[in-house]
């Protein structure tokens, strides 16, 4: 049985205004915490004069990997509402960032919660929601002359190339759909001088 999950297929941007404050929302499909950090850094560099860069993400099919940040806003007024919108849409592998430019009027906690939620809801309305199959990460090690054989086998099991090091002794990290893992193990065990092992996150 294949395990599936919902995520977004594209990056989106939205804008929301309330009593002079401007909120700019961004959503990103992501796979790792490192990707989330890189995207947050990118947005901070785009908006160095913003007063807050609040965010939340949910990762993984078990949905236990998450974080929410208020970035100086009152506790629970930004990050948690953003995460609530992600969870309300039953999404994972999703990062949402809201940049705020303070407009001179305090909104209060209810006003902030509404602003951050509304900004990300608007962004997600522009997102394409897709259903993906859960995958397992594997590492392959093999001699360079086996490259063509290995690549054909990867196509056969619908593998997604994650990382490749092409040296005299090649290494590949690939994601394989759970429904194809048994087939992959059978296929790769038949290729001599190839190491095929599961990577545990």
> For the chain, what are the domain ranges?
4-131, 134-198
Q: Kindly list the strands in the beta sheet with 65-69, ordered across the sheet, starting from the edge strand earlier in the chain.
A: 12-18, 21-29, 94-101, 52-59, 65-69
pLDDT surpasses 70 at 201? no
Say whether domain 134-198 belongs to CATH 3.40.50.970: no
Question: By C-alpha distance, which of 94, 98, 92 is closest to 116?
Answer: 98
Give pLDDT, residue 17. Answer: 97
d(CA 105, CA 107): 6
Mean pLDDT of the chain: 92
Which of the four CATH numbers 3.40.50.1100, 3.30.230.30, 3.40.50.300, 3.40.800.10 does domain 4-131 have?
Answer: 3.30.230.30
Determine the pLDDT at residue 168. Answer: 67
> pLDDT digits over 103-132, tens only?
999 999 999 999 999 999 999 999 999 998
Residue-level length of the chain: 201
Tell me how far apart the alpha carbons of residues 47 and 41 are, in angstroms, rounded to a whole number: 10
pTM for this structure? 0.79
Strand partners, 171: 141, 165
Question: pLDDT by residue (tens digit) across 77-97?
Answer: 999 999 999 999 999 999 999
- Cβ contacts of 51 within 8 Å, gap of 6 or more: 72, 100, 101, 102
> Residue 161: pLDDT above 90?
no
Residue 91: exposed, middle, or buried by beta-carbon count in 10 A (0-12, 13-18, 19+)?
Answer: buried
What pLDDT, on a 0 to 100 scale, did the predictor assign at position 134?
Answer: 87
Mean pLDDT, rounded, for 151-157? 92
Map residue 82 onto helix, strand or coil: helix
**pLDDT band, residue 133 (cuts 50/70/90):** confident
CA angle 46, 84, 25 (to 5 degrees): 20
So what's the pLDDT on residue 36? 98
What's the pLDDT score for residue 136?
86
What does the pLDDT look like over 9-21, one tens digit per residue?
999 999 999 999 9
1: pLDDT confidence band, cut at 50, 70 and 90? very low
pLDDT for 77 equals: 98
Residue 147 has a pLDDT of: 87
Confidence (pLDDT) at 107: 97
27-82 tens-digit pLDDT: 999 989 999 999 999 999 999 999 999 999 999 888 789 999 999 999 999 999 99
Sign of the torsion formed by the C-alpha atoms of 152, 157, 160 and 165: negative
What does the alpha-carbon distance between residue 183 and residue 16 come to, in Å, rounded to a whole number?
A: 49
Residue 114, pLDDT score: 98
């Amino acid at each position: 049985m294949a395990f599936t999950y919902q995520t977004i297929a594209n990056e989106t941007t939205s804008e929301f205004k309330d009593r002079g404050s401007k909120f700019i929302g961004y959503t990103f499909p992501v796979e790792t915490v490192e990707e989330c950090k890189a995207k947050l850094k990118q947005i901070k560099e785009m908006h160095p004069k913003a007063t807050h860069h609040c965010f939340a993400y949910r990762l993984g099919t078990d949905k236990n990997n998450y974080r929410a940040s208020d970035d100086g806003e009152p506790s629970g007024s930004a990050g948690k509402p953003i995460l609530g919108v992600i969870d309300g849409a039953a999404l994972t592998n999703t990062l949402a960032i809201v940049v705020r430019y303070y407009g001179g009027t305090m909104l209060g906690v209810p006003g902030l919660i509404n602003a951050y939620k509304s900004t990300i809801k608007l962004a997600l309305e522009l997102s394409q929601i897709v259903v993906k199959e859960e995958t397992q990460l594997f590492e392959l090690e093999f001699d360079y002359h086996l490259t063509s054989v290995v690549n054909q086998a990867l196509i056969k099991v619908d593998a997604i190339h994650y990382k490749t090091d092409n040296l005299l002794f090649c290494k590949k990290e690939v994601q394989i759909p759970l429904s194809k893992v048994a087939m992959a193990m059978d296929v790769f065990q038949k290729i001599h001088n190839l190491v095929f092992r599961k990577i545990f996150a």
